[in-house]
């Protein structure tokens, strides 16, 4: 089985896996980083969203062999104390219901705000395509605006 060395949350990791193994399962089953969630396996729901060199990527369709020297970031590495402005905004707006999709939503929102620090409703709606089965979408939108309003701290 091939061996892969790469960086997750600024730490070097080394795993043995078949080349076609989606990064999602490597994170969850081998590295015990279970904050990244499985929802569909076909890049439709966004529950498995991670950062790859800072950009949002759906890890269920991203084979471990494609990681190479790129940097992988997961929800566990977003902030040391769980106080990233987007995480704080999520708590402040009391967004979650079941909470299952929210790590993917947060990763997608962080990536959006990095590119576009003050997105409009339309920009949020066209960029955030994750599914929330509980329908917390209204609060997600508000939480993104709240995080954006804190500006520069991202």
Binding site for other proteins (CB under 8 A): 1, 17-18, 21-22, 25, 28-30, 32-42, 44-45, 47, 74-76, 78-79, 82, 87, 90-91, 94, 96-103, 106, 121, 124-126, 128-141
> Least distance (Å) from other proteins to the CB of residue 55?
19
> Least distance (Å) from other proteins to the CB of residue 140?
7
> Least distance (Å) from other proteins to the CB of residue 83?
9
> Least distance (Å) from other proteins to the CB of residue 138?
5
Q: What is the dihedral of CA 7, 12, 17, 21, to 10 degrees?
A: -20
Find tokens 């605006």 and name the residue: 145
In the chain, DSSP finds a helix count (H) and a strand count (E) of 5, 5
**Residue 150 Cα distances to 32, 79, 123, 127, angstroms:** 32, 16, 18, 20
Of residues 111 and 128, the one with the C-beta less far from other proteins? 128
Of residues 67 and 139, the one with the C-beta less far from other proteins? 139
Of residues 7 and 88, the one with the C-beta less far from other proteins? 88
Q: What is the dihedral of CA 114, 107, 13, 59, to 10 degrees?
A: -120
């Amino acid at each position: 089985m091939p061996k892969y060395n790469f960086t997750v949350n600024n730490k070097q990791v080394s795993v043995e896996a078949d080349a076609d193994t989606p990064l999602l399962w490597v994170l969850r089953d081998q590295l015990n980083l279970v904050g990244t969630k499985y929802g569909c396996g076909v890049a439709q729901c966004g529950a498995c969203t991670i950062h790859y060199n800072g950009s949002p990527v759906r890890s269920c369709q991203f084979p471990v062999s494609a990681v190479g020297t790129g940097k992988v970031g997961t929800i566990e590495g977003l902030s040391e104390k769980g106080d990233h402005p987007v995480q704080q905004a999520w708590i402040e707006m009391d967004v979650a219901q079941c909470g299952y999709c929210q790590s993917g939503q947060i990763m997608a929102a962080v990536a959006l705000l990095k590119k576009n620090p003050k997105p409009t409703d339309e920009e949020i709606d066209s960029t955030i395509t994750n599914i929330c089965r509980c329908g917390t979408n209204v609060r997600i939108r508000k939480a993104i605006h709240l995080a954006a309003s804190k500006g520069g701290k991202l």
